[in-house]
Structure 1
């Protein structure tokens, strides 16, 4: 082999090796950037979502437990505490409406509706207990209100379960999925 051809072949081999190293470095940097983007997603989106989801589940679960408790309707202080749960439920719902995703918001909205229905049923039953129980028709009204409260609490429990499932899915997302949900 001629010395000139050998020099050209050597330079060509060196050039190919340099190009290969540059491609490998570029791929490595892209992967590093992808990992950093996932970490940033977790810090900026996932953690605030988690807190908002936890707040809604906690407040709504407390309300459902209160509505299912027969003793709560007898104690005005505990009744006031139960009725005050509307505010943290509303605050958590507002946070979720901003943090998303849509799938979680739809379920959170159902929790909110069921929570307000439960609060209304709880208030009506408590009002009935405090303002008169006399006669057979009043007793029938009490049973009706008690049943409505029980039904509302059951619906609230179900919507909390549905929301918790949607929240888990939302929290498992890595930030690399396509937008649209």
Structure 2
């Protein structure tokens, strides 16, 4: 009888430890699954409509979203491209207001240098220059009369990389000093 007890106690301890690990693992995996769902919901928020191509979109610090949306844009003279800024319930800025081809309005810049990759979609609106940039970290930059007015980094976002279709649909410009402000 004493020999059976010697094996029963370690076996009971093993089952207790296994139960604790199992319960802990269940709650931790459930927490991570919920976090992944929340991240996926944040990553998929865009100001583009379902039928539009998403050239760029990301949530910014502060809760706003910046999106560059297009439809039927296979070259600079076709379809349209629009910049949108705000939240889905209240878009604060749409450029241009009408859905017209991007020629002379939007530009793509490959501002890469050395091993640093930097792609930009930019446009001019009065004395403001807007740049959505994809680098190691994507961001929105707004220049006023050539001086930095706003720079906001993108939070995690599934569309914070400039879509390759933008390279075909928007005319390109060479890099300039304003691309690095």
TM-score range, shorter chain: 0.3 to 0.5
Query: Who wins on radius of gyration, i.e. which is larger?
Result: 1
Greater helix proportion: 1
TM-score, normalised by the number of residues in structure 2: 0.36
